[in-house]
Amino acid sequence: MMEEKKIPYKIYLEESELPKQWYNVRADMKNKPAPLLNPGTKEPLKFEDLTPIFCEELVKQELDDTTAYFDIPDEILDYYKTYRPSPLCRAYNLEKALGTPAKIYYKFEGNNTSGSHKLNSAIAQAYYAKKQGLKGVTTETGAGQWGTALSMACAHFDLDCKVYMVKVSYEQKPFRREVMRTYGASVTPSPSETTNVGKKILEEHPGTTGSLGCAISEAVEAATTREGYRYVLGSVLNQVLLHQSVIGLETKTALDKYGVTPDIIIGCAGGGSNLGGLISPFMGEKLRGEKDYEIIAVEPASCPSFTRGRFAYDFCDTGKVCPLAKMYTLGSGFIPSPNHAGGLRYHGMSSILSQLYHDGLMKAVSVEQTEVFEAAERFARVEGILPAPESAHAIRVAIDEALKCRETGEEKTIVFGLTGTGYFDMVAYEKYNNGEMSDYIPTDEDLQPGFDSLPPM
Ligand SMILES: *Cc1c(COP(=O)(O)O)cnc(C)c1O
């Protein structure tokens, strides 16, 4: 028997082992994700329909279902080198604490100032905007990670950055806001009076604390009504999953170095970008019939797009200014309960992941927030890293799977995505620590208005 190489606590790759190309999982999908549609005509959107909103090179990536690999430009690769490769960690301490024969690994994306994986796509999107000669970009941010990542990326390429931040986060997370401003971004709480769509939403829902869907509508309007600006989005889109494939490619290289093959791959799912990026190369093998993996998306029970949503064409935003995407969705009119503290609040899901889920190539589970924070604390105490609440959804299910192995004695290998750190989420941790956090699962009646907002097709 070949002797197993002792696996270190952290597998670091060499700089030279960084992927030089992103992998586009759509190239290996038999059933391609459905195209974006014009909400008026219901016709598939073409390159020239999308370029008034998005950067040209990014639109090419968005629409390309066949090219398997895209070269990562040197300028992006050089920036990646400032914080990548990210470590793949073996959770020896967690395994011991759980008394499980399972082998647990996590890919940690929180080792940069923005604190999450979002920088992987932010730097790419800022680069293409700069290359196109634009003055700046606009975007939305919910919890603040995407806005922070984008403001870092824009500072690097000397671009103006206008961020519409969901009002509840703007008020609850003043430090996030200041990080963005430190990197030179301007930050507006959404909904705001600075856009027509913001005014309209405020009229219809006075006192609303906002949602990602509202903030997207405002950011799109801010870009399309300004010369030299385009809109950029931090998740959901095909291009974002493409950039995030760097997570999965590094993970696979690190595991291959030690001859490790995962049985289960787990990630949290908001709009689907980190999960899509983590699983892409593994899903590619699965789609080509080379290997099989159990892939699990984890979402909050209070915003259950996969597990209780409809697979339908829907608006990507509340203000209904964006194209229609076919995805698992709760309806663009869905506004998550204010009681929900843990991120992952978006009503829809990546079209790529939606198609893969629909085709039975991956599973999804939903978890309640108190059990998520319980997992987060358990993890923090033994592994040291204080996780983002979003990431803790994946931790929860990784722990549950490891505990199943304790029952059955199976030595499964579990890999999960630890997408970020939780330093800016201490209000949520405080609630949990004070015993003030409760679970909220929407009833079917609660979900109905969201479904009623789906566009007729
Ligand atoms: C944004 C974010 C997520 C969720 O977004 P996805 O696009 O689904 O990956 C998860 N974790 C962290 C830390 C985030 O910032």
Q: Render 359-399 in DSSP notation, one character per residue.
A: TTSSEEEEE-HHHHHHHHHHHHHHH---B-HHHHHHHHHHH
pLDDT band at 4 (very low <50, low <70, confident <90, very high): low
Q: Is the CB of 412 under 6 A from ligand 1?
A: no
Q: How many residues does the chain have?
A: 457
Whether 455 shows a pLDDT value over 90: the answer reads yes
Q: What is the pLDDT of residues 68-116, one digit of tens each?
A: 999 999 999 999 999 999 999 999 999 999 999 999 999 999 999 999 9
Q: Answer yes or no: is pLDDT of 26 > 50.
A: yes
Mutate to test the pocket of ligand 1, among 86, 112, 273 (most ligand atoms within 8 A of CB): 273
162-189 average pLDDT score = 94
Q: What is the pLDDT of residues 51-62, one digit of tens each?
A: 999 999 999 999
Q: Quick one: DSSP state of residue 112?
A: S
**What's the pLDDT score for residue 342?**
75
What is this structure's pTM? Answer: 0.96
Report how far ligand 1's centroid is from the alpha carbon of 221 (Å): 24
CATH numbers and ranges of domains, the chain: 4-19+84-115+239-452 (3.40.50.1100), 21-71+118-236 (3.40.50.1100)
Q: What's the pLDDT at 1?
A: 45
How far from chain centre, in Å, is Cα 45? 24
Mean pLDDT of 398-410: 98
- β strands within 127-181, DSSP E: 136-141, 160-166
**What are the C-alpha distances in Å from 43 to residues 47, 158, 222, 239?**
13, 37, 25, 21
Which token pair is 95? Answer: 């395994």
Q: What is the pLDDT of residue 339?
A: 77
- Binding site membership of 350 for ligand 1 (Cβ less than 6 Å): no
- The answer to whether the CB of 424 falls within 8 A of the CB of 173 is yes
Of 356, 358, 310, 300, residue with least CA distance to 333: 310
Distance of CA 23 to the CA centre of its chain: 17
Give the count of alpha carbons within 13 A of 379, CB side only: 32
**Does residue 263 sit in helix, strand or coil?**
coil
**Percent of all residues in the chain with a pLDDT value above 70, rounded to a whole number:** 99
Ligand 1: which of 108, 145, 243, 395 to mutate, judged by most atoms within 8 Å of the beta carbon?
145
* Dihedral angle sign, alpha carbons of residues 90, 93, 94, 98: positive
Helix (H) or strand (E) holding 251: helix 238-257
State pLDDT tens for residues 250-266: 999 999 999 999 999 99
Question: For residue 188, what pLDDT band results from cuts at 50, 70 and 90?
Answer: very high
d(CA 146, CA 155): 14
pLDDT above 70: residue 359? yes
Q: In the predicted model, is pLDDT for residue 3 greater than 60?
A: no
- The mean pLDDT value of the chain amounts to 95
Name the amino acid, one letter, at 389.
P
